[in-house]
Amino acid sequence: MDEFSVELHEISKRFGQTTVVERISLRIRSGEFFSLLGPSGCGKTTTLRIIAGFESPDSGELLINGKLATHTPPQERDVNLVFQNYALFPHLTVEQNVAFGLEMQKLPRAQIRERVGKALELVRLSGLGARLPHQLSGGQQQRVALARALVTEPSVLLLDEPLGALDFKLRQEMQLELKRLQRDLKITFLYVTHDQEEALKMSDRLAVMHQGRVLQIGPPQEIYERPATRFVADFIGESNFLEGRVVHTAGRRAVVQIGPLQTNVFSDTPLQLHQRVTLALRPERIQLCLPDAGNGTWTGLVEELIYIGKETRYRVRLSPEITVTVSSPGASNGITVGERVGLTWDPQSLRPIEEYSA
Ligand SMILES: Nc1ncnc2c1ncn2[C@@H]1O[C@H](COP(=O)(O)OP(=O)(O)OP(=O)(O)O)[C@@H](O)[C@H]1O
Ligand SMILES: [Mg+2]
């Protein structure tokens, strides 16, 4: 098996004057669950369509299983696409929908029947083969779409927001089932979603896209813990952004002045004295402590407090210009609006990030 299932080298695509995919480079490993994550309109579907062969890129190269495939016709690529809106044939039964690709390949009837049966079993739809799509629930239709894509046994499955139309509970169930399927079949999954939790939960690695570009690629934990840009820190989870200036450096440690406040920052690449820097700090990485506790803690006034069940969110004003959001598990433990509180955090949680201007 090749090390990489899908490789994109500097792929670009324009529609008219607009560049919708801009020099995207990705290498997706064989058997990997890889997600493309980004807001609506950032070019996710277009990227999948280029890999499937329904769009051709203006520049760049595409390799599938180590072979150049930039201009290979779709049916000759060892990939299959599950569309954003299922796209089942409404007048064909479940079985006929799933059999479609195999009939195009003109396989013997008995073989088709056997493989369709197996595919329906895989997605747990055995027994519903004679129904029409409109006689199925959304989740069941979704499984038919999946069976239809799996039945031709591609080495790469491209999935375009396959769970987008499902309600929260069903979505969570299907997430687990998709993971199971991918593990059992050892197929490469390239999964598109704009749901950050889904991408973090399901992927081995993911790429965060914005306006046609890939901003960061990595395993979920790295993307969440070490967002490279403001966009990534904001899109994946939530962040406070603090803008300051470096007033002291000592190797990987620097002291940053943010308005009247100072803090220690540790960074992989040393910061320069006097440089401007934006720091990202996740609300759940800040702990409340006693006010005026010293030792690098900050003190502020609780301006707003919202209890939302699993956590309480505090808006804390640190200076006339600076407020931060803090989130703590559970209820507020008697803290009230107007109270003075201290804030503390693990210095590793405070991340200098690159500015990325959209
Ligand atoms: N055939 C086309 N002709 C012109 N513009 C297009 C075409 N297809 C897509 N676009 C534009 O390209 C951009 C990217 O579209 P794309 O469908 O790839 O986004 P997406 O990330 O999949 O978004 P969503 O999450 O809403 O599905 C959008 O601005 C869209 O309007
Ligand atoms: Mg799309």
Q: What is the CATH number of the domain that holds 265?
A: 2.40.50.140
* pTM for this predicted structure: 0.88
Ligand 1, atom 29, residue with closest C-alpha: 41
Ligand closest to the CA atom of residue 193:
1
Within this chain, do residues 186 and 318 fall inside the same structural domain, yes or no? Answer: no
Atom of ligand 1 nearest to the CA of 47: 18
Ligand 1, atom 7, residue with closest C-alpha: 15
Within this chain, do residues 275 and 135 fall inside the same structural domain, yes or no? Answer: no
Q: In this structure, is residue 26 part of a structural domain?
A: yes
Please tell me the total count of domains within the chain. 2
SS3 270: coil
Please report, for the domain that includes residue 26, its CATH number: 3.40.50.300
Contact of 300 with 316, CB cutoff 8 Å: yes
Within this chain, do residues 278 and 305 fall inside the same structural domain, yes or no? Answer: yes
| Listed residues 211, 234, 257: the one ending a domain | 234
SS3 333: coil
Of 69, 50, 62, 55, give the one whose Cα is nearest residue 25: 62
Q: In this structure, is residue 13 part of a structural domain?
A: yes
The CB of 42 under 6 Å from ligand 1? The reply is yes
Q: What are residue 171's phi and psi, to 5 degrees?
A: -60, -45
* Other Cβ atoms within 10 Å of 242 Cβ, number: 20
Say how many Å lie between the CA of residue 167 and the centre of ligand 2. Answer: 18
Ligand closest to the CA atom of residue 36:
1
- DSSP count for the chain of H helices, then E strands: 8, 20
Atom of ligand 1 nearest to the CA of 212: 14
The CB of 40 under 6 Å from ligand 1? The reply is yes
Say how many Å lie between the CA of residue 68 and the centre of ligand 2. Answer: 25
Within this chain, do residues 188 and 173 fall inside the same structural domain, yes or no? Answer: yes
Q: In this structure, is residue 321 part of a structural domain?
A: yes
Question: What is the residue range of 290's domain?
Answer: 238-353
Say how many Å lie between the CA of residue 48 and the centre of ligand 2. Answer: 9
Ligand 1, atom 9, residue with closest C-alpha: 46
Give me the tens of pLDDT residue by residue for the chain, a chain 358 residues long: 679 999 999 999 999 999 999 999 999 999 999 999 999 999 999 999 999 999 999 999 999 999 999 999 998 999 999 887 778 999 999 999 999 989 988 999 999 999 999 999 988 899 999 999 999 988 889 889 999 998 988 999 999 998 887 788 888 888 988 898 899 889 999 999 989 999 999 999 999 999 999 999 999 999 999 898 999 999 998 999 999 999 999 999 999 999 999 999 998 888 999 999 999 999 999 999 999 998 889 999 999 999 999 999 999 999 999 999 999 998 888 899 999 999 999 988 999 987 654 4
> What gap in Å lies between CA 60 and CA 193, rounded to an integer?
24
Q: In this structure, is residue 245 part of a structural domain?
A: yes
18-29 sheet: strands from edge to edge = 18-29, 4-15, 59-64, 67-68
| Tokens (6 digits) for 114 | 């056997």
| Listed residues 234, 250, 285: the one ending a domain | 234
Q: In this structure, is residue 121 part of a structural domain?
A: yes
261-266 sheet: strands from edge to edge = 261-266, 253-258, 240-250, 276-281, 351-353
Say how many Å lie between the CA of residue 235 and the centre of ligand 2. Answer: 17
| Listed residues 198, 217, 234: the one ending a domain | 234
| Tokens (6 digits) for 306 | 């919202």
Name 119's Cβ contacts closer than 8 Å, sequence gap at least 6.
Answer: 98, 147, 148, 150, 151
